[in-house]
Amino acid sequence: MDFRVVVSDPKSGKAYQVELKDPGAGKLLGKHIGDKIEGDVLGMPGYSVQVTGGSDREGFPMRADLPGTKRRKILLSKGTGYHPIAEGRKKRMSIHGRDISPDVGQINVKVVEAGAKSVEELLGKAPKEEKA
């Protein structure tokens, strides 16, 4: 079991991808959208992050108002997973529940409490050297 975690830094406006493998990935199971998580799991000591969304392995988005860990077909008029072109239009779509389970592929989080080092230092990639 592994997750791709996208960490957004509201201060800089940048996002960083972190590959999370066992055993750290197991600490996220059972959490749901809106929960706060310690940044130590992501290699960010002193930080606190909040789950804002995600998608399952097939690409179906997670939705905060749909409880559970399974994918369901629900009637949507707006919000996560559906943005209608015309007002009043509705569509039945498959949406994943808000709880993190092994079938989730990507988790989106945002930084809510900062630590000593910057997010860039902790998660930023080293600049590549240019060829002469």
Tens-digit pLDDT profile for residues 22-53: 888 888 999 999 999 999 998 889 999 999 99
For the stretch 48-95, pLDDT in tens is 999 999 999 999 999 999 999 999 999 999 988 899 999 999 999 999
- How far is 72 from 29, CA to CA, in rounded Å? 19
Domain ranges in the chain are 3-64+99-123
CB 42 within 8 A of CB 49: yes
Confidence of residue 125 (pLDDT cuts 50, 70, 90): low
Q: Is domain 3-64+99-123 given the CATH code 3.10.20 in the classification?
A: yes
- How far is 33 from 103, CA to CA, in rounded Å? 15
In the chain, what's the furthest Cα-to-Cα distance? 58
What is the pTM assigned to this prediction? 0.85
* The amino acid at 121: E
